[in-house]
Structure 1
Amino acid sequence: MPPPEKCPFLLILVGLPGTGKSTFAKHFVEHIPAVVLESDALRKTLVTQPVYTDTEHTRVFTAVHTLMAKLLKQKVSLVLDATSLTAKDREPLYKIASGAGVRNFVVEIDLPPEIIKKHLNERIQQGTSRSDADWEIYLQLRPKFEPVSGKCYRIKSESDFQPVLEYLIKDVKNYISQEECR
């Protein structure tokens, strides 16, 4: 785990399954130390055979929120890798960051369906993902997706990944190097 920082932050990744949130998180932490809190991994830790009920969802996200609050209060920077599809899903995240006195950055990833279908199929074939989401899950969740209404970094195509990643890294580095953070 990275050491406590003077200016920790919370990076919230928003997007449907297969959009590349985990890949983005992996590349981000190669440049800026942070703990990646992945909801799919936590679900598999808490539930032996996930069935994705409302009760299970509540249990998982209660744990996610508790861990976030604890780590942010310890001044550890976090990357939250979870779908966070609706404004209602994101509201507790903003409150936790605010309560801990840390800045949040939000990246919304909303790729075209044909790209997501390709990603999901590759992920299933490779068997390397912690997520159980497939094309059917994507289709069930798609109507629930609400774009971020506030300021955020937006990725709308695969060619946006690298420029947005670089811009975000620059902005986070500027934030953590501010005079009041030293």
Structure 2
Amino acid sequence: MVIIIMGLPGSGKSYFAERLAGVLQAEYASSDRIRKAMIPNRTYSASEKEQVYEEMLHRMQLAITEGRNIILDGTFYLNSLRQKYIKHAQPVCTIIFIEVRADESVIRERLKQPRADSEADFNVYKLIQSQWEPLQEPHLTLHSTNENITEMLEIAHQYIQLRNDKSAN
């Protein structure tokens, strides 16, 4: 099973994705952590983003080949990028998409705080927001606050079970 957790910087997607991986006992691949490990002096250029998402794609393909579940955590803000992952997974594996959103006031406050794996600030948020291409595939949208992680995990778990039941038939 491949689950792509996507959303804008500061939306809470990484906090959620890492906890969901724990609940599902799935491998966790974070674009922020991969970028930090691969690129010492990050500029967030198009070529850097391509390197990071190629590594995530490689990890997804390896997990599929080895029969492991994986959660991929990144912005996944472009349809062309998402389609690349779908193309490489199907027909062997279904991808489940979960989009995490938050109110802009919450995002602004979150991005003021230092984070271990991401340097994205409010300007990066606004830039990616301006480039965001809405997801066309069936997906779950979760609204993140600072108090609802348990509820988000429960809703996601139910959605994943439902999607798995449908793909098994």
Q: By the TM > 0.5 criterion, same fold?
A: yes
Q: Does 1:48 align with 2:40?
A: yes
Instruction: Give secondary structure in 1 for the equivalent of 2:24.
Output: coil
Deviation at 1:111, TM superposition (A): 1.7
What secondary structure does 1:57 align onto? helix
Question: AA paired with 1:154?
Answer: T
Q: Given that residues 86 and 95 in structure 2 are in contact (C-alpha distance below 8 angstroms), is that contact kept between their aligned partners in structure 1?
A: yes
Runs of 4+ aligned structure 1 residues displaced above 4 Å come to 173-178
Match of 1:163 among 132, 147, 151: 151
1:103 and 2:122 correspond: no
* Contact 2:144–2:152 (8 Å) recurs in 1: no
Q: In the superposition, relative to structure 1, how do residues 160 and 97 fare at CA in structure 2: closer, same or farther (>3 Å)?
A: farther
Equivalent residue in structure 1 for 2:104, among 91, 105, 113: 113
Counterpart of 2:103 in structure 1: which amino acid?
P
- Gaps (5+ residues) in structure 2? none
Percent identity, aligned pairs only, is 22
User: What CA deviation, in whole Å up to 9, does each residue of 1:66-113 have, x standing for no partner?
Assistant: 1211121111111001100121121112122215x1222111112221
TM-score under structure 1 normalisation? 0.81
1:64 aligns with 2:56: yes
1:73-92 matches, within 5 Å, as 73-92=65-84
Q: Is residue 2:130 matched to residue 1:146?
A: no
Aligned pair partner of 2:118 in 131, 139, 149: 131
* Alignment check: 8 A CA contact 1:155 1:161 kept: no
Unaligned 5+ segments in structure 1 are 1-8
Q: What SS does structure 2 have at the residue aligned with 1:141?
A: helix
RMSD: 2.3
Indicate which of 19, 26, 36 corresponds to 2:11. 19
* Residues 96 and 163, structure 2, Cα contact 8 Å, conserved in 1: no
Counterpart Cα distance in 2 of 1:20 and 1:77: 21
CA distance in 1, matches of 2:82, 2:164: 23
Q: Which has the larger radius of gyration?
A: 1
> How does the TM-score come out when normalised to structure 2?
0.87
